[in-house]
Amino acid sequence: MLMALMLTLGALLVTPTAIGQQFRVLVHFRQPSRVLPAVPVPDAGGPYAFEQTQPGSKDPVTYSPCKPIEYVVNPTGGPRDALTFISAAVATISRASGLAFHDDGITDDTDFEHRNADDPVLIGFVKPGAIKGMSVESGHIGLGGSTAYDVGFGHRMYRTGMVALRTDWFSTPDVSRAEKQAVVMHELGHVVGLDHVKDPHELMDAENTGVTTLGPGDREGLALLGRGSCR
């Protein structure tokens, strides 16, 4: 009986439900604090969708807002300004989501397809066909996403991910820096949990043909993704 009670109380201390929150207040249990302030959730009416939701819920799978998302960049094969537009894209997604990112520097890592839970998010460039889904025929000039892990009590969270960018497109002379940055932002949107939508005014539009800034739905979805639990 005592063991069952202890397990129940322990579950209440870590479960992200409203009941768990009330219990933590009663026992003065201090959770980790956010790295950045939460971003107000706009209600601009644009569409957004989440890559994954919690089991049996519409709540999104998220990164923890109480620790920075570590990332590294492999600039090999990219244009000279790669670090500039990647850094700007990361900053934009961070501001819109309230999720902190930490630049762990340059890497020679090229294993986009196998990321372990403790690995930083890998951002870099690949030749056409080097990884699945990145052939010229596919039309994809970037791929991004994260891996979710079960953290207990039926709750899942992202721990790591990747952004792969096609070298030939990013090295094309007539592609502007704004266009390059927009592609990285789109893929980082996938990394933090946004899925495609069908709306030409949103950066996460599946057939994006010119949008270079976040749309209203993008901003609402990102703000919600930045309000996940602290784990």
Q: What is the CATH number of the domain that holds 157?
A: 3.40.390.10
Residue 42 lies in a domain: no
Same domain, 22 and 84: no
First to last CA, the chain: 28
| DSSP per position, 107-166 | ------S---TTSPEEEEEE-TTSSTT-STTT--SEEEEEEEEEEETTEEEEEEEEEEEE
Q: How many domains does the chain have?
A: 2
Q: How far apart, in whole angstroms, are the C-alpha atoms of residue 206 and residue 199? A: 8
Evaluate whether residue 54 is within a structural domain: no
The two structure tokens encoding residue 72: 């590294």
Residue 50 lies in a domain: no
Report the 10 Å Cβ neighbour count for 138: 13
- Decide if 58 is inside a domain: no
CB 213 within 8 A of CB 181: no
Tell me if 49 is assigned to some domain.
no
Same domain as 153, residue 91: yes
Query: Are 14 and 124 members of one domain?
Result: no
Do residues 105 and 177 both lie within one domain? yes
Tell me the CA distances in angstroms from 126 to 76, 77, 135, 165, 181, one per residue in order: 9, 7, 10, 6, 17
Predicted TM-score (pTM) of this structure = 0.87
Q: Contact, 71 vs 87, CB < 8 A?
A: no
- Same domain for 188 and 108: yes
Pair (146, 194) in one structural domain: yes
Domain check: are 135 and 216 in the same one? yes
In-domain check, residue 86: yes
Separation of alpha carbons 39 and 92, rounded Å: 13
Q: Measured between alpha carbons, how far is 125 from 113 in angstroms, rounded to an integer? A: 13
**pLDDT of the chain along its 231 residues, tens only?**
555 545 454 554 555 554 555 544 444 456 689 999 999 999 878 999 999 999 999 999 999 999 999 999 999 999 999 999 999 999 999 999 999 999 999 999 999 999 999 999 999 999 998 998 887 777 889 999 999 999 999 999 999 999 999 999 999 999 999 999 999 999 999 999 999 999 999 999 998 778 999 999 999 999 999 999 998
One domain for residues 16 and 117: no
- The continuous run of DSSP H or E covering 27 comes out as none
- Both 103 and 177 in one domain: the answer is yes
Are 150 and 104 in a shared domain?
yes
Q: Do 102 and 181 share a domain, yes or no?
A: yes
Residues spanned by the domain of 16: 1-31
Determine the distance from the C-alpha atom of residue 58 to the mean position of all C-alpha atoms in its chain, rounded to a whole number.
17
In a domain, 221, yes or no: yes
In a domain, 180, yes or no: yes
Residues 92 and 165 in one domain: yes
